Amino acid sequence: MHIATPPAPCPPSTAHLALPFFDDAHRALAEGLVPWAAAQAVDETDDRAACRDWVQRLGAGGWLRYCVPAAHGGALPALDSRALVLLRETLAYHSPLADFAFAMQGLGSGAITLAGSPAQQAHYLQGVARGELIAAFALSEPEAGSDVGAMQTIASSADPSGDSGQKGSYSLTGTKTWISNGGIADFYCVFAKTDPSGGTRGISAFIVDANTPGLDTSHHIHVMAPHPLATLQFTDCNVPATALLGEENGGFKLAMRTLDIFRASVAAAALGMARRALAEAVHHARQRRMFGQTLADFQLTQAKIGEMAALVDSAALLTYRAAWLRDTGQARVTAEAAMAKMTATENAQRVIDMALQLHGGRGVEVGSKVESLYRDIRSLRIYEGATEVQQLIIGKAVLQE
């Protein structure tokens, strides 16, 4: 059961906007988004309907324009990591499902932004920016999550001879799972092996429209914090050669480039949830009376609040640094983004757990904000690279310095 988001006890602080990571354009973006997000009220009891609703609202509000470049209806000349970070942090503070809807528009279309042909970009990106097309990113498989090279979905040449008039087309066969926006997306960026013996060097990317014959998206996956997830089944699913995204056998690098952009924004989503948990804890501690005083008067409470605040700020600094490094054209920032993703998600889990503990029995009631945050945060420690994968990325980078 997913309860509609209750109003925040107080608006989020914007003090972090004064940090040198941000410029005036970023500050203006955040200052416009905060009141807009606070004013939205979406019934989230049906996650798929609510996600569609959020996509439409975000598109109408102009916020999805930050998911695509200006040449295709976007707000900025290129994808800006700091803008993505501020958007996701603010949306997640108010509603993790709103953040999910925003993030999947960016992730699902990111490969098209990076490597799509002019025709592909013109056909899909404007619809994404307006909230008229819902996007999805289909990489994971039942036996190929973090180990992308174990992918078993195959994209074979449908008719090499051209006798059927389909020369150069591809036939996709295989299974993708844990696909965000699965079942509600209008198109999927799908990664499949065009060279089954090539490992990660044999993977290519394709754009597959949801209504393509041979694609079954009906298997909805139910998870602890309801989000629209599905298993996709491809059975002799034919796509034209024009559906190839980027170069043949260049799909793995494209997937990693896409994830590099959005990994720091996952950290920002966790940061937004942690900020909300801290705000809920402070509000509750000031209001809850016990033993002739408030919960906030106890030193043990003050110590917990202090620890929570430090965890939030340390995650924020790593998150903003990763986004700033990418935007300012530094060398590839894979390790910095991994540090941000790992630290922010793990810290948020700790902060939310402490906030729930401070709420006592109220904290585990379905419908309380800290209870829903407790379920929402858990998946962020897994998707787009589990914490253990981030540790490996960071460790390898340190050893190679």
Concatenated DSSP letters of 310-371:
HHHHHHHHHHHHHHHHHHTT-S--HHHHHHHHHHHHHHHHHHHHHHHHHHGGGGGSBTBHHH
SS3 150: helix
Structure tokens at 299: 């030193």
Dihedral of CA 10/11/12/13: which sign? negative
Kindly state the tokens that stand for 323. 């986004």
Query: Would you call 384 a catalytic residue per the annotation?
Result: yes
Among candidate residues 189, 38, 205, 24, the one with its CA nearest the CA of residue 106? 189
Distance from C-alpha of 273 to C-alpha of 281, rounded to nearest angstrom: 12
First to last CA, the chain: 48
Q: Which of 141, 280, 371, 384 is flagged as catalytic? A: 384
User: How far apart, in whole angstroms, are the C-alpha atoms of residue 183 and residue 176?
Assistant: 12
Q: Are 4 and 41 in contact (CB under 8 A)?
A: yes
Reading the block at residue 388, the tokens are 């253990």
Which residue from 329, 334, 328 is spatially nearest to 262, judged by alpha carbons? 334
- Give the residue numbers annotated as catalytic, written as ranges: 384
